[in-house]
Amino acid sequence: MSRVLIALLGLGLIGSPAHGITLTQVTTDPGTDLHPSWTPDGQTLVFEANRSGTRQLYKIPATGGVAQQITTSSQHNDHPEVSPDGTYIAFRKRVGSAQHIYRIGINGGAETALTSGLIEDWGPTFSPDGGTIYFARKYNLDEWDIFKVPAAGGPTQIVMSAPDYHGYPSVSPDGLWIAVEGGPFAGVDINIFEFEVANPSNIRQVSFETANTGQPAYKTNGSRVGGVSRRLNNHLDLYEWDRTSLGHARVTFDAEEIADAGSVFPAYSPDGTKVAFASKRVTGDYNIWVLDISEQPIPVDLLSFQVSSTDDGVLVSWRSAGDASDVAGYHVHKGPEVGHLER
């Protein structure tokens, strides 16, 4: 860690989850636990795990405890997403060589197929009102498009079609945009893009990394898109990208502290104070973790920085170690409002 970064940590302006930030290990079982999704009350996490020989859905208190199995079929069930009202879960079921979108009650029970056919559908995510489920559909080896289906069942409709790969859709809190990971485009690895629901041809790039970056998840207030990137030393960590300035901030430092730990599949709590994710940071197996970000300063990797006073607080500007031409800043207000990223 650079002396500059240590100095700013001392000022309380930026920091790492490894330094004074609450990080809770939610699951501890051996195996692979992935894809956490919050219930709307913020008390429970639904996730997928391979504890029974096939991938099944489980739920567990967000503070840890005993996991309860939700699905019990012999097929793989994964990619869970809890509905906005908390009554049921959308997920992907593998049916023979196909993959379909299903739904099930939050406590289990009968499963309902929402898509069918010899296709691959995955990555379900809800509209804010819970009436629509968006998902990715694979046509061939390298082409995926975004579709939607009524959450209560009905015909599927294509939402966005573009060359190459698009996956892991995430709907903005206002329901107006959908973020996806996509690429490669013009020789660039996978990055995060978002498109307008009302005008899908309006596509804008959110991340501009030279290493694979994806698994987008909108922050609860919609100001940023979280995701996973290999931008530093090809290690997987969580980052956030400001949707206006396109500045980025590093959220986890797992790979820096523990070789090959990796942080993946971020999911923000309904109140915006926490982010759940999967990591191999302790056991070498993927477990579910929760990071408290309610008072988390913005972490960055610095080449240079400048601190200047403003009428309403302090402006910290920096030059990113990932891209020497990328100048961003963080405005720390005097009042209770959290600052914002800006170029």
Q: Would you state the pLDDT for residue 343?
A: 31
Q: Would you state the pLDDT for residue 30?
A: 87
**Which residues pair with residue 99 across a beta bridge?**
94, 120
pLDDT in tens, 100-119: 999 999 999 999 999 999 88
Q: Would you state the pLDDT for residue 242?
A: 94
**Spatial CB neighbours of 342, under 8 Å, sequence gap ≥ 6:** 242, 244, 245, 247, 328, 329, 331
Q: How far apart are CA 134 and CA 151, in angstroms?
A: 9
Q: How far apart are CA 199 and CA 81, in angstroms?
A: 25
Q: How far apart are CA 280 and CA 289, in angstroms?
A: 10
pTM equals: 0.81
Element (H or E) spanning 8, and its range?
helix 3-11
Q: Would you state the pLDDT for residue 321?
A: 44
Q: How far apart are CA 44 and CA 178, in angstroms?
A: 25
Which residues of the chain register pLDDT less than 70? 1-21, 140-142, 184-188, 254-260, 295-343
Q: Would you state the pLDDT for residue 67?
A: 97
Q: Would you state the pLDDT for residue 328?
A: 41
